[in-house]
Structure 1
Amino acid sequence: MQTVSFSQSGLTALPPLALYIHFPWCVRKCPYCDFNSHAVKDGVPEVAYIDALIADLESNLPQVWGRSVSSIFMGGGTPSLFSAASMDRLLEAIRARIKLNPDAEITLEANPGTFEIEKFAGYKAAGINRLSIGIQSFNAEHLTALGRIHNRDEALRAIEIAAKHFDNYNLDIMYALPKQTLLEAEADIDQAIACGSTHLSAYHLTLEPNTLFHRYPPALPDDDLAADMQEMIEAKLAAAGFEHYETSAFAKSGRRSQHNLNYWQFGDYLGIGAGAHGKISFHDKIIRQARFKQPSEYLAKMAAGSAIQTEEIIEKSALPFEFMLNTLRLTGGFPIALFTERTGLPMTKIIHEIERACAEGLLERDLHHVKPTLKGQRFLNVLMERFLPE
């Protein structure tokens, strides 16, 4: 286990705490996916994995003792490969071990498919109150190109079933897909709006390292066409009553993702499960954890007592970039006081970089608030570079 030295951060109050739970299995690995996911070969070790998750949480309770959890997110992989009974057992074990806020947002990622949609009622009964459904596209050719296992009809059926049991659900949509036209991207977003979801995530397809698409790049729309798609999506969702509150996230009133907002406001999160990452603050330090990624190794390590592969204390010099990397994804930016509240550092640590970004038209600020301009949102990577540690 790696540990890095750290000077006192001087946090006067601990940030909100969330719980992330990773489920590393999928029916099939998608060619664009760089998440810790593994194709199911001989079935999912459901009971053993839930046991390991409970043990993982329990072994880390001393680090978050006495703190309330404001949200839970079950991501993957495909968490909906697990039965509603397993989710119920897991959530019962969580409630018995930590203080879960009565109004906590509990999200489960699900993929369309007839083998899953009948589980949705059971998930709701277990206490899950929000779904995030990986649609990606309603176009048959694009679904095939993306390696998705569902078709358009299964996607629409899954959304229909979800809407009967959940009044809060997100749809994931991707654009700038292989050979996609502007009209095809428009058809996808029109269909997503028509489905009546409370939240939409619209992601630009990127060729991430260690993916099949990175090794064998497909023909993608050029930058100008991708920008046209982005502007079209933003305009259509605004007209449909969605607020664009984060780079890729759009929500109806009162339906922002509370779990993701916690990330973007540099809150804390305990991560359990294979490959899960966590960030936990103490009054004198902020630590980052990572667990072993391979499911079999994770299970073996948990059986031996701990699956934490690395644990490091975030250096003081890295905190401004870490903070900005998250908060500047929010279109509304952040209140100035939040920087000191979440990092323990004075605002003077980043004032020069903020003024430079303002002069370049990437940021705007007043006495109380900092936020990216439209130019800053469009050139977010350039904006982030302004805060890299020297």
Structure 2
Amino acid sequence: MSPPPSPPAPVPEGEGRKSGFLLPPLALYVHIPWCVRKCPYCDFNSHAASAKLPEETYVDALLADLAADLPAAHGRELVSIFFGGGTPSLFSARAFERLLDGIGRRLSFARDIEITLEANPGTFEQEKFADYRRLGINRLSIGVQSFQNAQLHALGRIHDASEAIRAAEMARRAGFDNFNLDLMHGLPGQDVASALADMRQAIALEPTHLSWYQLTLEPNTLFWSQPPKIPEDDLLWDIQEAGQTLLAAEGFVQYETSAHARDGRRARHNLNYWTFGDFLGIGAGAHAKLSDPHGRIRRTWKTRLPRDYLAPERRFQAGERLLEADELPFEFMMNALRLTEGVPAGLFGERTGLPLASIAAPCAAARAAGLLENDPQRLRPTARGQLFLNDLLQYFLP
């Protein structure tokens, strides 16, 4: 493995560097855009797979994409890697071996790096779990959504309840002592009892992390044009309260809007997003947030359609946008205030290069409205602020 590039020399203030700004940790998101079938609620960049996936070609493209982005790393090591989709577990262990080796030749890995792979509970993918673990992938995120066959059918999922249970059991047997289960609530025809039955089954499988989130009807999905009948708001609230009570009783700590962890196993990749860290994004439609030593922050996005991303004349990056100073408070808070404990107040200056005084007025207004805690050491939403996060964020718009 070739040595990583040397870190850049610090840029003295007075040469364009923002006061207080520090280059944040760096993560890598890798998008694999194919699924067996597109789910009717999904608005992610995913596409129905053909009989044979272009694994080799796509891995080649991912590594070329990463090579083009290397200057944005500024010598930093990767603190986490997340393989998302789509359904990354459609790819073979051999493809991930090539990919991880190629990434490791271009960037150094933190000693305790978290490497997460999204997987679906189809039987074919389960057979590969042990191979993935041997490659150094140390966390799985399994898209269960429900353990009730009628609900899985309504959601367009290709697995049944028994496969979902078996996937979690096989993940543990394959050596994954850290895995997440994705679980939805507010499903068509769901009541409190059926939502809690799903949750109890999930807890019984002993995941270290549960992502428990409400079904939402997103534009550009089948459910948006042909909406199912979902529970009324009062019932949704009852489900939310009952579910959070059960999770807390079972030792799961809610640390973010829809994320609950046991034994401190918080998703480090997602924590990097929520604390306004940097991340490279490679793959069809992948997004990135990148800082430079002067404190300039930009968002970039890649060519969305797989056929265009793989075209011989490909240009991976489809666009980029430099964030203006007046946008940074909202961009920072949009992430940080999802965390139930918020973030240290000093992190605002480190990640944006702006003085904390620049958000004194909106913070005061949010505190007066009962949405932000009156704590000078932390930027933290109140319980009410967590419930009405969109209202809280309005105070930080440009």
Pick the TM interval, shorter chain: over 0.9
Alignment match, 2:204: 194
Query: Matched residues in 2 for 1:160 and 1:264: separation?
Result: 30
Counterparts of residues 1-390 of structure 1 (less than 5 Å): 9-10=18-19, 12-164=21-173, 165-284=175-294, 285-300=296-311, 303-304=312-313, 306-389=315-398
The amino acid across from 2:201 in the alignment is Q
Q: Which deviates the most, 378-387 or 15-24?
A: 378-387
Task: Name 1:4's counterpart in structure 2.
Answer: none
Structure 2 Cα separation of the partners of residues 176 and 380 of structure 1: 19
- Residue pair 2:251, 2:262 contacting (<8 A) in 1 also: yes
Cα distance in 2 for partners of 1:386, 1:205 equals 27
Segment drifting more, 348-357 vs 266-275: 348-357
- For 1:12 and 1:357, locate their aligned partners in 2 and report how far apart those are by CA, in whole Å: 25
Aligned residue for 1:116, secondary structure, equals helix
CA contact (8 A) 1:59 1:306 kept: no
Q: Supply the distance in 2 between the matched residues of 1:236 and 1:264 (Cα, whole angstroms).
A: 25
Over 3 Å counting, the alpha-carbon distance change for 1:344 and 1:230 in structure 2 is same
SS in structure 1 of the partner of residue 254 of structure 2: strand
Bigger shift: residues 25-34 or 63-72: 63-72
1:269-314 CA distance string (max 9 Å, x none): 00000000001101221111000110000111xx436310001111
Name the CA distance, whole Å, in 1 between partners of 2:113 and 2:321: 29
Q: Tell me the C-alpha RMSD between the 2 structures.
A: 1.1
Secondary structure of the structure 1 residue equivalent to 2:66: helix
**2 CA distance for matches of 1:306 and 1:99?**
25
Contact 1:10–1:283 (CA under 8 A) maintained in structure 2: no
1:224 positional shift: 1.1
**How many Å apart are 1:361 and its aligned residue?**
1.0
Structure 1: which 5+ residue stretches go unaligned?
Answer: 1-6
Question: What is residue 3 of structure 1 aligned with on the other side?
Answer: none
| Letter in structure 1 aligned against 2:310 | L
SS of the aligned residue for 2:396 comes to coil
Measure how far apart 1:35 and its partner are: 0.3
Contact 1:353 1:387 in 2 (8 A): yes
In 1, are the aligned partners of 2:308 and 2:314 still within 8 Å (CA)? no
In structure 2, distance between residues paired with 1:11 and 1:43: 51
Report percent identity of matched pairs.
57
Q: Give, in whole Å, the separation in 1 of the partners of 2:119 and 2:238.
A: 29
Moved more, 135-144 or 39-48: 39-48
Q: Secondary structure at the match of 1:209?
A: coil
Alpha-carbon distance between aligned partners in 1 of 2:19 and 2:43, rounded to the nearest angstrom: 36
Q: TM-score, normalised by structure 2?
A: 0.94
Amino acid paired to 1:364:
E
One-letter code aligned to 1:325? M
3-state SS, counterpart of residue 57 of structure 1: helix
1:42 deviation in Å?
3.9
Which consecutive aligned stretches of 4+ in structure 1 deviate over 2 angstroms post-superposition? 7-12, 303-306
Corresponding pairs, count: 381
Shift of 1:384: 1.3
* Contact 1:11–1:283 (CA under 8 A) maintained in structure 2: no
1:120 shift after superposition: 0.1
User: Matches of 1:348 and 1:12 in 2, distance apart?
Assistant: 15
Q: Show structure 2 runs of 5+ residues with no match.
A: 1-15
The question of whether the paired residues in 1 share the 8 Å contact of 2:257 and 2:340 is answered with yes
**2: CA distance, partners of 1:280 / 1:95:** 20
Instruction: Calculate the TM-score normalised by the size of structure 1.
Output: 0.96
